[in-house]
Amino acid sequence: MAKGMREIKRQIKSTQNMEQITRTMEMVAAANLRRAQQAAEASRPYADKLKEVISSIAAGTKGVKHPMLQSREIKRTGYLVITSDRGLAGGLNSNLLRNVLAQIRERHASTEEYSILAIGRKGRDFFKRRNMPVIEEVTGLPDSIKFSDVKSIAYAAVSGFEKGLYDQLFLVYNQFKNAMTQVPTIKQLLPMATEDMTSASAASYEYEPSPEAVLEQLLPKYAETLIYSAALDNKASEFGARMTAMNSATKNAKKMISSYTLAYNRARQASITQEISEIVGGANALS
């Protein structure tokens, strides 16, 4: 009985330590989430303004042509997949990777038909374990992402389409809604939808040297900005998912502690009852 009580006490202590760790991780994730959410929201006006200018050019220039706006025969597809470097975020990464893997297997018969660009260690390792072609990778992103952190892979993704390494590029990431909700998202980045680029703009602009020359410079920047915004969204999703997961882990730890404490008290009561019975039995034997 004493051995069983000591084991229960060790379990209680171990679970209490676990609870302290998960509570601390929840607090850290909550603090990081606020900063990441602010960064994600701050990036959207810049992307919206770029889209407005590009739409104005496309709407005001007849017969506008650019490789990033032109659909072509799809011989190879690119997937830019954004995941986290660390786990302990619930099903954040697994749900996203399961969705993109299902789409790849549905759309492609062999690895010759697609390429993967990976941001984040979880995604990179997932695809490499399955011998899937990862042509570019970036890992070890900081908690506060700057454009310079993803600039190289964003440029590689856009230039790869322009060079014809693939004829279609999908952006795969977790879209942040709130701390409880992150939506696995797979959307076509290139070629850009012509209907989006030709929407009328209320503003009027004058361009130097020409609208076409400005469009030549802005379209790649716009695509790279969308990749950066997706990385910020995914980082906010990571902290939201981790905060939620650690909150659930903390609650489960408290339930386990209550259960162990109840078991310990019952064992202790049983031990005391047994000792009393032995004393009474001994006294009766002596009388």
Per-residue pLDDT tens for 89-127?
A: 999 999 999 999 999 999 999 999 999 999 999 999 999
What CATH code is assigned to 28-244? 3.40.1380.10
Distance CA 33, CA 273 (A): 52
- Looking at residue 273, its pLDDT comes to 82
Q: What is the mean pLDDT of residues 49-56?
A: 79
**pLDDT over 60 (residue 25):** yes
**pLDDT over 60 (residue 57):** yes
Q: What is the pTM of this model?
A: 0.86
Q: What percent of the chain has pLDDT over 70?
A: 92
Q: Copy the structure tokens of residue 35.
A: 């900063």
Per-residue b or e along 231-269, where b marks 16 or more CB atoms closer than 10 Å to that residue's CB: bbbbbbbbbbbbbbbbbebbeebeebbeebeeebeebee
Would you kindly state where each structural domain of the chain is located, as residue ranges? 28-244
Q: What is the mean pLDDT of residues 156-183?
A: 93
